[in-house]
Amino acid sequence: MNPEYQPLVEAARAALPLAQARYSGFRVAAALLCDDGTIVTGINVECSSYGGTICAERSALVRALSQGKSGFRAIAIVTETEGPTMPCGICRQLLHDYAPGATVIAAGSNATAIATLRELLPHAFTL
């Protein structure tokens, strides 16, 4: 893994205990690397009306956008699973809309996978 991404994975791991997974128990945290070097974290927040649940990736992106950030290089997603968990379809599309060139680093407890967003969403919807 590129050494530049290690602090990103560590920031996501540090945020993981804050995840609000009261229904599924599946905690997820994300850390977004902005073009200016800032790291913005997010967590999943579950809702009893499941459609209202917010994924960690979207949480981090919306938080960054709310802080005036506009360029993004990479996002790390951390879970407690052994293997990596890549973003869901909604997160892939939203990331494509705001960070189409981003690298995605998915880290489980025993394995990490790295892909570009274009690899994960090769035929993304665009306007």
Q: pLDDT tens across 29-77, in order?
A: 999 999 999 999 999 999 999 899 999 999 999 999 999 999 999 999 9
**Which position among 46, 57, 82, 119 bears the catalytic label?**
57
Chain centre to alpha carbon of residue 12: 9
pLDDT of residue 30: 98
Take residue 8 and report the two structure tokens written for it. 């990103």
pLDDT reading at 94 higher than 90? yes
Pairing of strands 28-34, 39-43: antiparallel
Q: How far apart are CA 7 and CA 101, in angstroms?
A: 19
Question: Rounded to two decimals, what is the model's pTM?
Answer: 0.95
Instruction: Yes or no: say if 73 and 46 are a contact pair by the CB < 8 Å rule.
Output: no
**Segment 87-92 mean pLDDT:** 96
pLDDT of residue 3: 87
Cα pseudo-dihedral 65, 105, 14, 41, rounded to 10 = 0
pLDDT of residue 1: 76
User: Does the annotation count 57 as an active-site position?
Assistant: yes
Taking only the tens place, the pLDDT of each residue in 102-126 is 999 999 999 999 999 999 999 999 8
First to last CA, the chain: 34
**Segment 79-101 mean pLDDT:** 96
Take residue 1 and report the two structure tokens written for it. 């893994």
Pairing of strands 72-79, 28-34: antiparallel
